[in-house]
Amino acid sequence: MGLNKNSKINLDEFKGYILVEKNFSQHTAKAYCSDVLDYIIWLDETDCTQVDFAKIRDYLHFMQKYNYKKTTLARKIASIRTFYKFLFREKKIESNPAENIISPKRPKSLPKFLSKEEVEDILNNINISTPAGYRNRAILELLWASGMRISELSGLNFENLNLENNEITVFGKGAKERIILITDRAKNYIEKYIEFARPLIAKGYTLPPISDDTPVFINKTGYRLQTRMIRNVINDIVEKIELPKKVTPHMFRHSFATHLIENGADLRVVQELLGHASISNTQIYTHVSMQHMKEVYQEAHPRA
């Protein structure tokens, strides 16, 4: 299999377009570019600007043999459609051969969440007698209180903190800035972590003076705590308390949103707190809440 030189140039320009102009996150841009690279490798020496709808349809048939999940297939198709929209926009093609490609319907799956009791069980089983343990408690308290993404938490710098007003500025998908709110309890853990635990985490290492761009959460060598480490922390606690479900950092986000909706929070407010671009992304939590309501009804009603 070859790689057409012009196709490769177009892919490089496409990457810049989705990162700078479309403001895609690094993660999404990487996935889209990988999908398009697979496609132009399949095209071999054929220039991507010289194909028609039938050729793209052949590629879709080729992908079917890999039995991709519908969500993966939908993303790959979206990548190719976005790529050709870019080529058409840049006048590199006279017509868009991918315009009429139909994406498979994504299966609707309700997000999994933790009950309030399960969250408290996890939090209360963190050993806070060590600096790292206290940091871990502050992290999970923050995830639970704010609904922020794990990547947003990992990327926090001191300039993002406005603890006096219980506010934190985060940069979500596509580097979109938003302000999130936190509880007094979460603020208390963060303040004590910063004052007492953080200076002791990197034992044997000299921490630089705190400035605006200093990371809030650090590892044992004083560098920014990565998302993988936060996942490991959660996995260890869940294994310790033998919670009968797989728990991910994102489940704290789902739990945050679900419990807000259950307690009567306005959907638009939840949308803002989560940083969802569309209200439709937030509405799924109303379905989760309704499902939970039905389960409680079935268990509690004597005639159910």
How many other C-beta atoms lie within 10 A of the C-beta of residue 237? 20
What secondary structure letter does DSSP report for 223? S
Q: Which is the catalytic residue, given 55, 224, 231, 276?
A: 276
Which of the following is catalytic: 76, 135, 137, 149? Answer: 149
Rounded Cα distance, 217 and 182, in Å: 17
Q: Is 134 one of the catalytic residues?
A: no
- Sequence-separated (6 or more) residues with CB below 8 Å from residue 101: 53, 56, 57, 60, 77, 80, 81
CA distance 209 to 54: 61
- Of 85, 224, 250, 292, the catalytic one is 250
Whether 259 is catalytic: no
- Token pair recorded at residue 236: 């260890």
143 and 150 Cβ atoms separated by less than 8 Å:
yes
Q: Is 173 marked active-site?
A: yes
The Cα 2–Cα 288 span in angstroms is: 48
* Contact partners, residue 142, CB within 8 Å, separation at least 6: 148, 153, 182, 186, 189, 190
Q: Residue 215: which residues within 8 A CB-CB, separation 6 or more?
A: 155, 156, 157, 223, 224, 225
The one catalytic residue in 17, 84, 193, 285 is 285
* 253 labelled catalytic: yes
Check: CB of residue 253 under 8 Å from CB of residue 194.
Answer: no
Distance (Å, whole) CA 288 – CA 258 = 7
Cα separation of 45 and 43, whole Å? 6
Which residue is catalytic, options 92, 173, 192, 231?
A: 173
Tell how far CA 39 is from the center of its chain: 26
Residues annotated catalytic, as ranges: 149, 173, 250, 253, 276, 285
